[in-house]
Every structure is written in C-alpha cells, then in structure tokens.
Amino acid sequence: MEVIITRDGNQARLEIKGDIDEPGAEDLKKRFRELKISLLREVTFDFKEVSHIGSAGIGKLLLFYKDLALNGGKMGIENVSETVYELFKVLKLDTIFSISK
C-alpha cells in the first residue's frame, strides 16, 4: 500500500493506493500521525485505488475521525468503490463522516 499526502494550509489529502489490510492500516496510522493534526481543519482520503479495507483499517479511520473532531476538524472519504461504499453504509460510517463514490 502507498500513501501520497498533499497538504494545503489547514487541509490535507491522503491518496491511498492498494488495499488497507492490517499492515496497511498500521502504515496509514504512521503516515497520518506525521501530520500536525491540531493544525488541520479538513482531511480527505482518496480511495480511488482501494478495493478492500479490513477491520483494522476501519478502526484507524474511526481513530482519525476522533482525533480530528477533538480539534474541531472534519474528514471525508471520496472515490469509494461500490463494495467498500456498501460496507461503510452497513457499518453506518456515512453517519459519522462524509463518504462519496
């Protein structure tokens, strides 16, 4: 899995390439922690090249959301595949943060 981070002021975009399995989730957490979370107001995850996310990855997304929300920030996930989108809907993650196909 590869993570490309683009930062613009108080916004960050993480483009993820590959599936988010357990090792990928740990790598994603490490990369997310490199950002100065307290300075961010919006984080967008681009899932264009993600076809699978495991429970560890979902747990990390919830952790990221919590960290951002505590600092007044928000997050969203875009370019989600149909399979991942349906999983997020079943888990009701769409009620927590923005998710778009």
pTM of this structure: 0.94
Identify the DSSP state of 95.
G
CATH class assigned to 2-99:
alpha beta
The pLDDT assigned to 36 comes to: 85
Pairing of strands 2-8, 11-17: antiparallel
φ, ψ dihedrals at 53, nearest 5°: -135, 130
Residue by residue, pLDDT tens for the chain (101 residues) are 999 999 999 999 999 999 999 999 999 999 998 888 888 999 999 999 999 999 999 999 999 999 999 989 999 999 999 999 999 999 999 999 999 99
> 26: helix, coil or strand?
helix
